[in-house]
Structure 1
Amino acid sequence: MILKELSCTYSSNADGQARTIRYRNNTSTYNEISIAKFYTMGSKGAMTWLDKLEEQLNVDVDWMDPEYIKSMPIVPHDQTSNQLWVDIQLGDASNRDMFLETAKELKNEGWLAIYTRMAVLMCKKNINSIRGRVLLQTLPSNAFKTQETLDHARLYDREFARAGIGRDRYCIKIPSTGPALNAAKILSSEGIPTLGTALFSLPQAIACSQAGMLYISPYYNGKFAHEVRAHDEPDTLWPNVEDPATQHPMSARIVQIIETYKRLYKETGKEQPLVKNASFISAKEAMAAGEMGCHSATISHTVLDQLAKLEYDGTKQPGEGTPKPVHVYKNAGPCPERLKKLANVDPLAAAEWDGKLASTDIDYLANGGAELTKAIETDPISTTRLADALKLFIGGEERSKAKVEEVLKQI
């Protein structure tokens, strides 16, 4: 590897020791890796799938464990989470004292105040181990309630400010429903950064653009399929294909979302949400996100480990992405030739689909999001997968509420 520039980047830990190397090779963008990884690269000269993917998009970690994040061979951009990951960390022994202290301080303010502060404080543990933002999600049980979603996001905003984390270092995940995205539109006007999550369709993506959101996270796989796979049960719901970029049924929708955002940026000059692809089951799927032109990919620790172990050989890849641009829409390249066929097809569409893509002229947020609700209801995949995702996250929310209530009994 020929390096054009090399510098040490210091973390803000008390020891003041350099933890990362920042370098530039044959692209105009910088990469950042751990010092241990840098020396490994120097001795072996081998590039991993993870290294290659980081050249093509921003790699994020979809996990909250501080020790895991510190051990990663690259420094992730963002740290994402959901109610499941927050619940796991709430039950971790390393957070026990902080949990008790927070519960004592907020015992008269209800379980949600304690939960929200704990979620922010647990993210704070990772803020110096990442380059970008920490992300937390509003309550999924309120996914169809505008005011409640707005209230919880504002509570997060206050807690992040209390923790010394500015709006440039966090983002609030909002379920991509009509009512919740109406809350997101208000939050955007207040300068609170948001991400549209539980997103499965182009109408949802257009609605997120209309809400002025910073990010969207299309789920490459449905959450139920992900859970089935994770528990080693029959994975009939998971399309385990050799070439996900062209063969996975969700790829067409991802490509259409990206191309729509490119067009909207060109036509209006307005910033569009950055596509942070999520819910990967295999390393191959994560690599497909790079080829499709996603801005970033938030990846579970299990898939990150797979990517870090695989040596990259471009001659054995079905396709390959390009180095990430400085501005994902202003400097956007064309859709890869072999993916252009996906622009007008939809393997996930209902049988009666007329072949027309969702129109950007429709106001999906008007009347409480009525048009978006209708679009979701007429798309069986979006209906099913949204319900599955919310059910899964509500389960995590309820377990966390029980943990908070149990701690309150002990003080």
Structure 2
Amino acid sequence: MANLLDQLSAMTIVVVDTGDLQEINKFAPRDATTNPSLILAAAQIPSYQNLIDETLISSRLSIGKQASMQEVVNESLDQLCVRFGTEILKRIPGRVSTEVDARLSYDTEATITKARKLINLYKNSGIDVNRVLIKIAATWEGIKAAEILEKESIHCNLTLLFGFTQAVACAEAGVTLISPFVGRILDWYKANSGITTYLGSEDPGVMSVTKIFNYYKKYGYKTEVMGASFRNIDEIVELAGIDLLTIAPTLLNQLKNTEGKLIRKLNSLVPISTEERLQLDQRKFEQLMNLDRMASEKLTEGILGFTKAIENLELQLSNRLLVWP
């Protein structure tokens, strides 16, 4: 009998959720995605120190020898994310997601400016921009930025998505893809409901993403749904048939080493949804988000978490510069 990973790959696009190039080589996915935490983890691997040094040199040369350390670090951060993305694209046939600085999550114009810069860095590296997804936090400001970028043919992946309201706003904005965080939704309910164990089919994260997927297919939205942030393979199994799943290497290994029949749970041709179509403006979006305590708290927590990872990565780059002649 085939393993669960092979069966899953036949009905859903499997994306590797890592910045580790060796893991990408191992699983040979179509797409890959990164975030500040994953880039930070990869940057601490000894075998990647030459890549970091090359990026620091390139950054200093591009902005001038008289630039301050902070200016070099800021430039290096952008170049490093693109450098990892470029290396990943050498190993996969599809797309890579590269994230805009989470500290810009509530600034539409700054997000647009940063996204354009990242895309230009990819262009300068000879990368087809259709192979890049710009990851942006699904705040109202981020969604509006993505709406403008999509009209410029800059494709976006809206991340830190926890609620139905965020998902509807993203679809209405015409974004390419959303990444609802299944496991983090589960974390919140475990911490706040008093229930510590959920069956896969009753997992709050699974139920949330299932609702979003069926709503999108019912109303013919082109935005793809990519489940993300899993805590166990039961969550993944319950979403078999969704557009995409981005999965960490540890869970990919579990799926690969587990045999059994995998049943398709989601079908874009037969969506099961009783939801009326939701119309949103900023006021309605913010009102509904305020009523959704889980989505609001997890969005704020996620932005703070990615911000901390960015700051730690900047510190690592600064320390690297200090030991140079």
Q: List runs of 5+ in structure 2 lacking aligned partners.
A: 61-66
Q: What's 2:280 paired with? A: 362
1:378 to 279, 288, 291: 291
Displacement of 1:147: 1.6
Alignment CA distance shift 1:379-1:154 (3 Å): same
Displacement of 1:384: 1.4
Q: Please state if 1:407 is matched with 2:320.
A: yes
| Alpha-carbon distance between aligned partners in 2 of 1:262 and 1:298, rounded to the nearest angstrom | 20
Q: What's 1:62 paired with? A: 17
Q: What's 1:281 paired with? A: 231
| Alpha-carbon distance between aligned partners in 2 of 1:298 and 1:178, rounded to the nearest angstrom | 24
- Residue 143 of structure 2 aligns to a residue whose secondary structure is helix
1:306-345 → structure 2 map (5 Å cutoff): 306-313=254-261, 320-321=263-264, 332-335=268-271, 340=272, 343=273
- Residue 294 of structure 1 aligns to a residue whose secondary structure is coil
The amino acid that maps onto 2:159 is T
Q: What's 1:81 paired with? A: 34
Contact 1:62 1:80 in 2 (8 A): yes
* Structure with the larger helix share: 2
Q: Summarize deviations over 1:344-364 as a string: whole Å, max 9, x none.
A: 6xxxxxxxxxxxx5743223x
Q: Determine which structure has greater relative contact order: mean sequence separation of CA pairs < 8 Å that are 6+ residues apart, divided by chain length.
A: 2
Q: Please state if 1:173 is matched with 2:145.
A: no
| Alpha-carbon distance between aligned partners in 1 of 2:96 and 2:120, rounded to the nearest angstrom | 15
The amino acid that maps onto 1:304 is L
| Alpha-carbon distance between aligned partners in 1 of 2:186 and 2:111, rounded to the nearest angstrom | 24
Alignment CA distance shift 1:237-1:288 (3 Å): farther
Displacement of 1:323: 9.6
Alignment CA distance shift 1:402-1:274 (3 Å): same
Alignment CA distance shift 1:310-1:224 (3 Å): closer
| Alpha-carbon distance between aligned partners in 1 of 2:121 and 2:142, rounded to the nearest angstrom | 20
Displacement of 1:286: 0.8
Contact 2:213 2:225 in 1 (8 A): yes
Q: What's 1:151 paired with? A: 113
Contact 2:94 2:131 in 1 (8 A): yes
| Alpha-carbon distance between aligned partners in 2 of 1:295 and 1:377, rounded to the nearest angstrom | 29
- Residue 125 of structure 1 aligns to a residue whose secondary structure is helix
Report the TM-score when normalising by structure 2.
0.88
Alignment CA distance shift 1:223-1:89 (3 Å): farther
Q: What's 2:63 paired with? A: none
Q: Summarize deviations over 1:168-205 as a string: whole Å, max 9, x none.
A: 21101110000111111111111101011111112111
- Residue 29 of structure 2 aligns to a residue whose secondary structure is coil
Alignment CA distance shift 1:321-1:238 (3 Å): farther
Contact 2:185 2:205 in 1 (8 A): no
Contact 2:184 2:298 in 1 (8 A): yes
Contact 2:185 2:204 in 1 (8 A): no
Contact 2:233 2:251 in 1 (8 A): yes
Q: Please state if 1:294 is matched with 2:242.
A: yes
Percent identity between the two aligned chains: 23
Displacement of 1:241: 3.1
Contact 1:59 1:76 in 2 (8 A): yes
- Residue 179 of structure 1 aligns to a residue whose secondary structure is helix
Contact 2:290 2:296 in 1 (8 A): yes
Displacement of 1:164: 1.6
Alignment CA distance shift 1:78-1:251 (3 Å): same
